[in-house]
């Protein structure tokens, strides 16, 4: 009798382990969905108006970006944050396997010719899980309701930030000009459209 119960328990445990392994295999190695289409690039120079250069430090920009994240994502508990150091560091957590798992992403900012920004992934971790980098970005894309001008692209392991298409209440247009984090030299061009001035 005991031997029969032992066999049933062994088979049940073995079947459960096989099921978990197959589930993890499917989650990790299933093909990623196609990359989100990047927006058509806009150039603030195409619109009439006055342009100004604004310079910032890593500390000031970090504070501004984190305030925006708190408001845009309704992140009252400070679940997500960004730190500008040698690279852009993103901290937060995503729900995976019915648990909140801490996530850490390190990305290199690359200014595009039109002033948009690509954050190219360099280092990434999801708790203690050793997952492919594109899978981690997939979890981020599902967990965060990003604005339309932020495109998370797991296939290319990057985040495209169309700053030229940010919806700013004042109707100002913005483009990144320089992001040199190592030397703490950050600058943006701001266009004040003529129409905004009532001219």
Confidence of residue 139 (pLDDT cuts 50, 70, 90): confident
**Domain limits at 152?**
47-197
Q: How crowded is the C-beta side of 173, counted as CA atoms within 13 Å? A: 22
Residue 174 lies in a domain: yes
Cα→Cα distances 112→86, 155, 161, Å: 19, 19, 10
Let me know if residue 4 belongs to a domain.
no
Phi/psi at 19 (5° precision)? -60, -45
Percent of the chain topping pLDDT 70 = 75
pLDDT confidence bin for 175, thresholds 50/70/90: very high
* Structural domain includes residue 99: yes
Report helix, strand and coil shares of the chain as percent, to nearest 5: 30, 35, 35
pLDDT of residue 108: 95
Task: Give the residues across from 114 on adjacent strands.
Answer: none
Number of domains in the chain: 1
Q: Which residues contact 143 (CB under 8 A, 6 or more apart)?
A: 92, 94, 95
- Quick one: how far is CA 9 from the chain centroid? 45
Banded pLDDT at 122 (limits 50, 70, 90)? confident
pTM score, whole prediction: 0.75
Residue 5 lies in a domain: no
What are 141's two structure tokens?
């894309």
Q: Do 55 and 186 meet the contact criterion of CB atoms below 8 Å apart?
A: yes
Residue at 2 is within a domain: no
**Domain assignment present for 102:** yes
Q: What is the 3-state secondary structure (H, E, C) of 63-76?
A: HHHHHHHHHHCCCC
Q: Is residue 20 part of a domain?
A: no
1 within a domain of the structure (yes/no): no
Strand arrangement, sheet containing 185-193: 49-56, 185-193, 173-180
């Amino acid at each position: 009798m005991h031997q029969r119960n032992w066999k049933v328990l062994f088979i049940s445990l073995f079947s459960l382990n096989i099921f978990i392994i197959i589930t993890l295999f499917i989650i990790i190695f299933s093909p990623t969905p196609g990359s989100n289409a990047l927006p058509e690039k806009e150039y603030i120079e195409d619109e009439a108006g006055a342009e100004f250069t604004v310079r910032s430090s890593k500390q000031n920009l970090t504070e501004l970006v984190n305030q925006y994240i708190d408001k845009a994502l309704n992140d009252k508990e400070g679940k997500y944050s960004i730190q500008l150091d040698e690279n852009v560091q993103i901290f937060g957590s995503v729900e995976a396997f019915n648990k909140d798992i801490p996530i850490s992403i390190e990305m290199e900012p690359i200014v595009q010719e039109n002033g948009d920004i690509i954050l190219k992934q360099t280092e990434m971790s999801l708790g203690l899980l050793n997952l492919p980098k594109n899978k981690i970005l997939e979890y981020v894309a599902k967990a965060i309701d990003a604005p339309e001008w932020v495109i998370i692209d797991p296939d290319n392991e990057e985040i495209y930030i169309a700053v030229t298409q940010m919806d700013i209440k004042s109707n100002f247009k913005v483009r990144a000009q320089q992001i040199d984090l190592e030397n703490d030299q950050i600058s943006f061009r701001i266009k004040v459209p003529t129409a905004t001035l009532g001219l």
